[in-house]
Structure 1
Amino acid sequence: MTMTRKPGAIATTGAGGSGAPASAPPPRRRGGRIFFGWYIVGAGFLLSAILGGLMFHAFGQYVVVLEAEFGWSRTSLSAAFSIQMVESGLLGPIQGWALDRFGPRRIMLVGITIFGFGFLLLSQINTLTEFYIAFVVIALGLSAGAGMGMMVAVVNWFNRRRSLAIGIATAGFAFGGLLQPGVAWSLEHVGWRETAIASGLIVIAVGLPLAGLMRHRPSQYGYGVDGDPPLQHQVGDGRLADFDPGEVNFTLQQALRTRAFWLISFGHAASLLVVGAVMVHFVSHVTDSLDYSLGQAANLLLVMTVTSVIGMLGGGYLGDRLPMRYILTVAMLGHMASLLVLTLWLSLWGALAFTVIHGIAFGVRGPLTQAIRADYFGRAAFGTVMGFSSLIIIIGMVFGPIVAGLSYDLTGSYRTGFIGLALVAGLGSLLFLASTRPPPPPSERRGPLASAP
């Protein structure tokens, strides 16, 4: 294998490595031009803000209005969120393989279209079964059109500033909370059906151009990682690959044999027990316990948004400088503390304290759970590794909302469910603490030679 650096060379390899011409992004940085990787980060931020604002943050508000109109139980409504997460988790391995094989842009364009269509279906429901069907479609689109595809793109374009880049891109999900006062106003004054239709049209009209900016690996367009001159490795089939010769890359099989893969995955799942429960039930909790309106609850979500963005940017900055497992351990303790505060301190100040603590913990933890996988297992098979991790991660997103919903339906209060979930999140901090970096794989295969496609 020979290696050369040719700053002016342009690769013509397609997204799947087949040799087909790749559609080129804007010219490479010269004389102060912005590295194209930051365009990907910016597009990811905006796309995350739209998807997060119109569905993730807004789901709890839909729960309130649908319960009022149809009389469905909160456990039944929570089940839709859990179905959505189960589908996303089960599709994770296939999606991860497809992202590594074909690149994120194609997959995300299809996903955004399906996601927008799911909102249109949601606007027409009249039965609980139709509600579940709509959310299956939404889940399919969200799984293909959102987080994992964006992560694959960002991870492959950045190395030294990877945590910061992921932090900025994923901050969009938190930033979507700024849309909640508008969503709440629309649900209360325009109607939930009209709001769902408008959301679907916005997703398609804005999401498709943003997804079109996504690119897979920088070498396919003549870039180097982090904006450096591209490294060119002449491998057996003549493909250009942008992996540093000192970079260790695990295959999926090698990653599965490490302790770190399982500890990170179960720690991630423990954190999502809290996140899932809060996404679905926070609005219902404060409207019941504090007698707040949807608009007042949305204002609390706005505070959570601000603190989450601060946490994501701060966590991304620290993740490039400090051991990520220690930062994640502290963030998990923050998840535990925040949910206990929300449960035991039933007042405005308690709710505000929760939004600050949980927002920062969520913000710090979110990007670093992705960055630590790329740091430990490399970029070559990141999508596949992340996809198989989703089979474990879904445990939290599925059971968190259901446990909280059952607690309310059986006892008339979220207290028991929230306390139990908080304690599990505290135990999850120990999993991250124990997730030390795995040794290089026995084969010591590096760079593109360790990847499947």
Structure 2
Amino acid sequence: MSRTLTKFKVNSWLILTLCFLINFVLGFKHVWSVLVPYIEVDLRISRALVVLPFSLMSIVNVVGFSTIDYVKSRLGLKLTLTLTTASTGLGLILASISQDIIMLTISYAFIYGIGQALGYVLAVTLGVKWLYRTRRGLAAGLTSGGYSLGTLVLAPITSYLVSYFGWRLTILVIAIASIVVMSIATLVLTEPQDDVVSSRTYTPLDILKTKTFYIAWSMIFLTSLIDGFAASHLTPFVIEYVGVGVLIASTAVSVYSSVNFLTRIVIGEVAERLGIYRILMITYIISTLNIVLLPTYRSLPLAYLGSSLIGVVHGTNVALIPLIAARMWGTKYLGSNYGLLLTSATMSMLAGPIIGGLSHDLTGNYGLSMVILAIASATGIPLLYIIRKEITQS
């Protein structure tokens, strides 16, 4: 019995490590902004066109997030992982040799995008399933945290490589690294033999017929809008309100990203001990107050504080989404159910920048966007209260 238990523990942590590494390399998606100036010059296109592949990928991600269990049920885990590896690698390789924005968009947004979506959801759900009985909170945090750490680490590496070797060779290097990591994972990863199936078994179609799905989706979307805002406007916001240069202002993004990563790692385990409902309620209240006060943060330390709290809410939402999905709808169809709920965070990353941009264009500052984002965040609090029973059950 002890040998079996030891083998189970070793396999569980090996699986978790590989899931972490998959999301680490997939974190390259959010390094796109580093490549933007180089692609803009090389392809001789406008800034609006350069960001098109990244923007369209978010839509493609939604398709991948919501269809993962269907694909896996038809192909099996191994073939799904093989498809994910091939799509990820091929998309990046084709992107590296693209000669126009059309080819670049097809390669990056659609081919790489579908592999990126399938890989992310597979990594998180497999990690959670393997440690569901014991450390599911830690598994959710580590697997989703791998993505944040990947972005943090790959951003400076990409910046270095692109300055010496150009954007094409840089993408090719990332493609090779991704293929190696995901190929190893494909050979090793399996479904857990004692897969936990809770008493609640909802298919994706079932949850789309429930009110709780739309309440939970709206809650995460509204409270995550501030993260979408920060992803594209945090640096200019700090420049405008603190009065520092772009180099110093950009350090707020590093603070935000670091806290985001650390939160993802620890919050799942903390939520398992203190309760998901309690953690989310505290986080949403603090986040709402932080948004209200953001325009008053006129010093760099206060800007760092505000950036940190934005990182906390994003890290908390993303890390707890798989646990919320498992609690409310069971684990049998966790992949697609989690993917459907995850689209709320994806859509907030599209809407948040628009809110910030329109506010600044119309009024010349970010004041109006802060009002909108604060109201949105505050609205998430009663929505959380409505579904408190569903997310507190085992």
What is the aligned counterpart of 1:82 among 55, 59, 62? 55
Instruction: Note the residue ranges of structure 1 that are not aligned, 5 or more in a row.
Output: 1-6, 9-26, 226-241, 440-453
Q: 1:213 to 1:358 in 2, by over 3 A?
A: farther
Deviation, structure 1 residue 120? 2.7
Given that residues 60 and 280 in structure 1 are in contact (C-alpha distance below 8 angstroms), is that contact kept between their aligned partners in structure 2?
no
1:447 corresponds to: none
Equivalent residue runs for 1:249-260 within 5 Å: 249-260=201-212
Given that residues 234 and 253 in structure 2 are in contact (C-alpha distance below 8 angstroms), is that contact kept between their aligned partners in structure 1?
no
1:94 corresponds to: 67
Q: 1:93 to 1:187 in 2, by over 3 A?
A: same
2:350 corresponds to: 398
2:141 corresponds to: 167
2:92 corresponds to: 119
Code of the aligned partner of 2:133: N
Deviation, structure 1 residue 95? 2.0
Q: 1:89 to 1:297 in 2, by over 3 A?
A: same
3-state SS of paired residue (1:159)? coil
* RMSD (Å), alpha carbons: 3.5
Normalized per residue, the structure richer in helix is 2
TM-score, normalized by length of structure 2? 0.82
The reply to whether residue 291 of structure 1 matches residue 245 of structure 2 is yes
The reply to whether residue 318 of structure 1 matches residue 292 of structure 2 is no
TM-score, normalized by length of structure 1? 0.72
Deviation, structure 1 residue 166? 0.9
Code of the aligned partner of 2:58: M
2:113 corresponds to: 139
Code of the aligned partner of 1:184: S
3-state SS of paired residue (1:248)? coil
Deviation, structure 1 residue 342? 5.8
Code of the aligned partner of 2:122: G
Q: 1:119 to 1:166 in 2, by over 3 A?
A: same
3-state SS of paired residue (1:34)? helix
**Cα distance in 2 for residues equivalent to 1:62 and 1:346:** 31
Percent sequence identity over matched residues? 21
2:383 corresponds to: 431
**Cα distance in 2 for residues equivalent to 1:78 and 1:87:** 15
Code of the aligned partner of 1:46: L
**Cα distance in 2 for residues equivalent to 1:170 and 1:333:** 23
Larger Rg: 1
1:307 corresponds to: 259
Equivalent residue runs for 1:11-410 within 5 Å: 28-30=4-6, 34-52=9-27, 54-56=28-30, 58-63=31-36, 65-66=38-39, 70=44, 72-73=46-47, 76-99=49-72, 102-125=75-98, 127-133=100-106, 134-146=108-120, 148-157=121-130, 158-176=132-150, 177-216=152-191, 218-219=192-193, 224=194, 243=197, 247-282=199-234, 290-293=244-247, 300-336=252-288, 345=297, 347-390=299-342, 394-407=346-359
Given that residues 327 and 390 in structure 2 are in contact (C-alpha distance below 8 angstroms), is that contact kept between their aligned partners in structure 1?
no
**Cα distance in 2 for residues equivalent to 1:403 and 1:190:** 36
Code of the aligned partner of 1:150: A
Instruction: Note the residue ranges of structure 2 that are not aligned, 5 or more in a row.
Output: none
Given that residues 36 and 47 in structure 2 are in contact (C-alpha distance below 8 angstroms), is that contact kept between their aligned partners in structure 1?
no
Larger mean CA deviation between 98-107 and 424-433 belongs to: 98-107
Q: 1:298 to 1:259 in 2, by over 3 A?
A: same
